[in-house]
Amino acid sequence: MAAAEAGALPAEQRVGQVVLPGDVLLLPAHPEADGERLWLGPGAALPGRLVCGPGLRSCGAGLLVTKCGLLRHRQAGGAGGGSGGAYWVDSQQKRYVPVKGDHVIGIVTIKAGDIFKVDVGGSEQASLSYLAFEGATKRNRPNVQVGDLIYGQFIVANKDMEPEMVCIDSSGRANGMGVIGHEGLLFKVSLGLIRKLLAPNCEIIQELGQLYPFEIVFGMNGRIWVKAKTIQQTLIVANILEACEHMTAEQRTQAFAKLSER
């Protein structure tokens, strides 16, 4: 710990660099002015709040790194990211750890009375109440069979606890969650690729969308479900997505050019 403290660097200097578990990132000392601003009111209390995202933990005055990867930073003023900016570690991993609020694709494994058990790729299966579907009542049970694919959201995801999923939002609407259609192809990619694909203005998705009609579902747990008009088209989309993780932009454009020739 002492060595890590000695090698601690200000967080700003390490943005974009590789950080390792145990590294300590120092934050700029909080000026007293901020403390005074906190007293002005609830609206003024928020500026200066810093979000420490996945892979980081707050320790004392700084941040402790818990995952290896690239340190990312976003300036204040984004949507929902806290108003004092945000730091997080962009890591490559394959094992999913349930996080509250994440949208994932799960496979129903057991129907046990009032709950379904759903495999989400985490260390433990998530539970899903039969009442957590849009329009479900005690009498009107949702039609969910073992083996069905579920697109849902984690409502409970704590350490050492069974995660719990729901297929409705806080106002009781499905908003696209629930059982995904019975056809299509499910495959798994790394968690980093999912985030890459879901990023706003992702070129891969934009280029794919201009090829032919298809539907796709991304789960934050690394699962992707694709469905197109023919099996061949479905497979093409799946193969492109799997291959494009380590492609450069030029290689990708070449691959797309090949596809559009067909």
CB of 136 to other proteins, least distance (A): 19
Determine the Cα–Cα distance for residues 178 and 197; give it in Å rounded to an integer.
22
Report the distance separating Cα 164 and Cα 156, nearest Å: 5
Report the residue number, 159 or 246, with the smaller CB distance to other proteins.
159
Cα–Cα dist 117/253, whole Å? 42
β-pairing verdict for 24-26 and 62-65: antiparallel
Residues that bind other proteins (CB under 8 A): 27, 30, 34-35, 38, 48-54, 56-58, 63, 72, 74, 78-82, 84, 86, 88, 99-103, 151, 157, 175-176, 195, 198-200, 202, 205, 208-220, 227-229
Min dist CB 247 to other proteins, Å, is 20
Q: Please, which residues bridge with residue 57 across strands?
A: 64
Distances (CA, A) of 156 to 102, 111, 125, 159, 165: 10, 20, 12, 10, 7
Report whether 128 contacts 171 (CB < 8 A). Answer: no
How many residues can be counted in the chain? 262
- Structure tokens belonging to residue 91: 């890591």
| Residue 208 or 244 having the CB closest to other proteins | 208
**Which residue, 170 or 210, is less far from other proteins as judged by CB?**
210
Judged by beta carbon, residue 30 or residue 95, the one nearer other proteins is 30
| Residue 83 beta carbon to other proteins: minimum distance, rounded to whole angstroms | 10
Considering the complex, what minimum distance in angstroms separates the CB of residue 46 from other proteins?
Answer: 10
- Return the number of the residue (17 or 146) whose C-beta is nearest other proteins: 17
As measured in angstroms, the least distance from the Cβ of 101 to other proteins is 5
Q: Are strands 164-166 and 126-129 parallel, antiparallel or unpaired?
A: parallel
Alpha-carbon span 62 to 84, nearest angstrom: 15
Angle at CA 206, nearest 5°, toward 204 and 209?
A: 105
Query: Of 110 and 135, which CB lies nearer to other proteins in the complex structure?
Result: 135
* Eight-class DSSP state of 12: G
Q: Nearest distance from residue 176's CB to other proteins, in Å?
A: 5
For other proteins, the closer of residues 33 and 112 by Cβ is 33
Q: How far is the CB of 190 from other proteins (least distance, A)?
A: 13
CA distance 87 to 109: 37
